[in-house]
Every structure is written in C-alpha cells, then in structure tokens.
Structure 1
Amino acid sequence: MMLLVPADPLRPRRPDEHFAAEADAARAAGLDVAVVDHDALSTADGAASGVARVPQDAGAAVYRGWMLRAGQYTAFAGALAGRGVGLRTSAAQYRQAHELPGWYAALSDVTPPTRWTTGGDRDAFERAATALGPGPAVLRDYTKSMKHYWHEAVYIPDLADLDAAWAVAARFRELRDDEFTGGFVLRRFEEFGPAEVRTWWVGGMCRLVGPHPDTPHDAPPAGLDLSAVEPLVAALRLPFVTVDLALRADGVWRVIELGDGQVSDRPGTVDPEAFVAAVR
C-alpha cells in the first residue's frame, strides 16, 4: 500500500509539514510514500497534474491530506486510475462518509435527529425546519459547520421562529460562501460535555481511540463502550472512517460526526507511529 500526502507548496518534492510526521512513520513502517499537489486537485481540471509525482502502476493507495470536495475526489481517483493506482476508498465511498446525508440513516439511532435540504433556498430551509419541529437546533451544511460563529451562524434557539432561524442560515451561507456544500443541515440540539472523542475505523473495526483535534490534551475515557455504534459503522462497509462522539448530559454517548478517515485530522498528541500502525 502507498500513502499519498499533500506536497509542501514551497518544496513540492517534500510532504506538507502538517503531514510530514505521518509520512515519516509510514516509511519507517515499510510503506511507500508519494506526494500530490493539493492546490491542483482543488481546481476544476487539475487532477492529472496533481498526481504527476505519483509513481505509475503503484497499486493500492490511501490518501492522508486536506479535505477535497466529493467531485474533486472523483477526479483525483480517476487521474490515479489512469496511472495504475487505485485508492482504497472509492469515490462513492468517499462521498458517503464525507457528506452527512450519506451516513445519517445508518447512525440515526445514535446521533441527534436531523433534516437537510438540497440547495440553499429559504423555502427548502423552512420545510426542513418544520419537519424537524420546534425547539433548539444547530446548523451546518453537508460537510462542515461554522462552530467559531456559534451564536450568529450555528445555534438556533427555536426553529418555531422561522425568521430568526433563517437569519442564522443566511449568515451561515454568507460565511461559507463558495465552500457551501450540498445544502443546509439542521440537527436537534443536545447538551454535550466539553470534549469529544475521535475514533478511527478500518474495515468496520475500531482501531484507535483518541482525543478530538479541538481538545487534543483531553484523553478519552478508559473503556469507552462502542457496542451500540460498532454494528452500525460496520454495516456501512466503508474502508476508512472516523467517528466523533460526545457524552450527552444524561450520560449517553452520541455520534457527532462520521467522516472519511483520509481527510480527518490527527491530533498532534496522537503519536504518528502508533497512528500508522493502527490504521494501515
């Protein structure tokens, strides 16, 4: 298996500093490592040039890098296939893990109730708000929230007040700008503790439990019980994902997010050698 990481923009033959430790750990573990040009992959027609430094006919590969839109990942996978390299995570699997509508139904019993729109118009937003029902909610799109703008672009005190709710949605849309993905996602607000746990899954099995990147020094609790989550994640049949969990005020662990493991950040407090050994 080959590990693909973004190149340093200033030294394009070397891994980006953010992923250099993982690249070094992968080489030490006997894996081949190649760099890709993330800036090129992020453009409409840059996939071929973005993978130009990947060796021909290298076989299976896993990406560890910056987030890509689902369409960009599809072009990335296609360009690699043209060089005889196959990503372990297909384009369809990437979209399923990366965008909330792809995984929500499978995990609906262990995550806050959710409704979403296709696109960003107000009528669709109000229909989703009405379907979720009155009460507090949090807002995001298919891939991301604006959590640093909590009161103006995330938290909605009561969906029954559609004008106030739309004001939050309009601000969110403004802040996301061209990065707005898919549509609005409304999730029922639940009261959680301050720290999340990030778990890493390969082939439907949890391989590593660690802190969330937002709280890298908050170690996860010993003996975290994943029994309610394990069969649900396994049923998705996704090759490499992360599942973020938080402890609700009533003591129940809830899934906050499922994401593609290739573009989920590793906290610096998680040893890169241990990380590579766990998820390889």
Structure 2
Amino acid sequence: MLLLVPADVLRPRRADDHFAAEAEAARALGMDVALIDHNASTGSGGAEEAVRAVRTGGAAWYRGWMLRSAEYAALAAALRRRDVTLRTTPEQYRRAHELPGWYAALTDLTPRTVWTVGDDRADFDCARGELGSGPAVLRDYTKSMKHYWAEAAFIPESDDADSAWHVAQRFRELRGEDMAGGFVLRRFEHFVSAEVRTWWVDGECVAIGPHPDTPQDPPPADVDFATLGRPIAGLGFPFVTVDFALRADGMWRVIELGDGQVSDRPRTMPPETLIAALGAGSSG
C-alpha cells in the first residue's frame, strides 16, 4: 500500500510539514510513501508534473490538500500511467467531495438543502423559493465561508430576496475562482455542541475525534456515532469523514460529509490512528 502526500514547497524531497507526521507513521507501519507536487496538480504544471517523483506502483491512498474534482481526476489518470491506482476513484471523490453527491442518501440526518448549477440570480431565487421561508445557511458544493458568517454565510430570512442575494454576492466575491458548482442553501438549525469528526474506511467507522476547528473539545463518550451514521456505509465510499453536531432538541445531525483524503486531521488525533485504519482497509 502506498501513501501519497504533498511535498514541501521549499524542500521538495520532504513531505509538507502538515502531513509529515502521517508520512512518518505510514513508513513505521511498513507502507511506502511518495510525494506529490500539489502546486503542479492545481496549476500550470499539470498532473504529470505533479506525480513525476512517484516511482512505486500499486494501490494508493492520497492524504493532502484539497483538490477540485477535475484536478483529482487528472491526478488519478497520471498515476494510472505509473501503475498506481487510487483506492478512491475520481467518481467516488466527486460524490464525497461535493454535497450534491451525498445529500440524497443522508436527507434524514442533515438539514434540508437545495442548490443551483452556477451562480445566476434567477436560479438562486428559484432555490430560495424551493427551500421556503426562514433562516438559511449559504455555501457552495464544497465549502462554506463560515468565518464570514454575518456577511457571506447566514441568511436571516430566505424570503427577503434582496438581502439574501446580497449575502450570495459577497459569498461569490470571497470564493472567487475557487467557487465550486453553484450556490447551496441549507435550512438553518440551531446547534449546541462543538462538531465531532468521524472517520470511515470502507463503510466502517474507524475513528471518532474532535473537529479540527475545536481540537481541544473531545467527542462525547456516550454517543454511538457508528450506529447513528449507519446510512453512510451504503454510500460505498472507500474513505470519508462525517462531521456531526448536536441540535438544540437533542438530535445529532450531519453537518458535512467529505472525502477523507482531503479532510484535515485535528492535531490532538495521533497520526497512527488514521494511518493504521487506512492500512487495514488497503485490501478493499
């Protein structure tokens, strides 16, 4: 089993500091490690340049910075030409990485959601109408701007067309070229806990820990997240993360599902925990 991690920009023969501990853990567990040029994979260098240092074939997991779905597909194709097969296919990556790919399977566990294709106002207004009145949270297919909550994420009243569009415009401005897919409107729900990040390999919950934004907040010990997230197994994803939060009425809800290869690991979670789980799931 091969683990692919980004190379350090200034020291290209070393792993990026953010993923160095995972690379070291992989080597200690007997896994091969190869370096990817992330800047090339997302820029003019292209996927072939990104994988030129990969010289070991076989099945592989990627652990690195976020990639657009098209960039991941190009990376997977370039790796196949080097006899490397990513455990997560480009189609699986897109479905996990982009909200429309997983929402239908988890509708009972997550806030009601509608979305557009593109950033046209008419489509945005149609989506607002479909969602209905009340507060909403705005994002795109892959990311929110929650750190700009009042100006680019929270819509106090979906029926207030001009105010809602003002938030959407600010969101679009902040996302810039990174805007993915279209606008996503989610029904606002009031949460009363820090988020819990769960890690799933081949449909099995292999680790439960804090969210990277709140690494010092441990998850509750009395909640069976594996059973709560049972529908996740049916999605057929090789490696994903699922973030849960406690709603004010006492219900745990899914905030986000993401491809595990590009999901951040909180520093309070030992790298060996994650890498060992990937190694155990390497034969799937």
Give the TM-score, by structure 2 length.
0.96
* 1:267 maps onto 2:266 in alignment: yes
Q: What are the residue-to-residue correspondences of 1:21-170 with 2, within 5 Å?
A: 21-43=21-43, 46-56=46-56, 58-170=57-169
Decide whether the 8 Å contact of 1:36 with 1:50 is kept in 2.
Answer: yes
SS in 2 for 1:80: helix
Q: How much does 1:277 deviate? A: 1.6
1:204 is aligned to 203
2:8 is aligned to 8
1:250 is aligned to 249
Structure-2 separation of matches of 1:228 and 1:271: 24
Q: How much does 1:44 deviate? A: 5.3
Q: How much does 1:136 deviate? A: 0.2
Counterpart amino acid of residue 146 in structure 1: M
1:123-176 deviation per Cα after TM superposition (whole angstroms, max 9, x unaligned): 000000100000000000000001110000000000010110000000000000
1:189-210 deviation per Cα after TM superposition (whole angstroms, max 9, x unaligned): 0000241000000001100000
2:238 is aligned to 239
* 1:223 maps onto 2:222 in alignment: yes
SS in 2 for 1:120: coil
2:282 is aligned to none
Quote the sequence identity (%).
Answer: 64
Decide whether the 8 Å contact of 1:200 with 1:279 is kept in 2.
Answer: no
Q: How much does 1:278 deviate? A: 2.6
Q: How much does 1:228 deviate? A: 5.5
Structure-2 separation of matches of 1:279 and 1:223: 25
Structure-2 separation of matches of 1:279 and 1:242: 13
Structure-2 separation of matches of 1:195 and 1:279: 26
Aligned residues: 279
Q: How much does 1:229 deviate? A: 3.9
Change in 2 beyond 3 A, CA 1:79/1:273: same
Structure 1: unaligned runs, 5 residues or longer: none
1:188 is aligned to 187
Counterpart amino acid of residue 231 in structure 2: L
Structure-2 separation of matches of 1:227 and 1:251: 17
Decide whether the 8 Å contact of 2:204 with 2:226 is kept in 1.
Answer: no
Structure-1 separation of matches of 2:4 and 2:206: 20
SS in 2 for 1:109: coil
Structure 2: unaligned runs, 5 residues or longer: 280-284
Give the TM-score, by structure 1 length.
0.98
Change in 2 beyond 3 A, CA 1:276/1:227: closer
Structure-1 separation of matches of 2:197 and 2:222: 14
SS in 1 for 2:194: strand
SS in 2 for 1:26: helix
Counterpart amino acid of residue 19 in structure 2: F
Q: How much does 1:177 deviate? A: 0.5
SS in 2 for 1:192: coil
Decide whether the 8 Å contact of 1:203 with 1:234 is kept in 2.
Answer: yes
Structure-1 separation of matches of 2:34 and 2:182: 34
Q: Over aligned residue pairs, what C-alpha RMSD do you find? A: 1.0
Decide whether the 8 Å contact of 2:241 with 2:257 is kept in 1.
Answer: yes
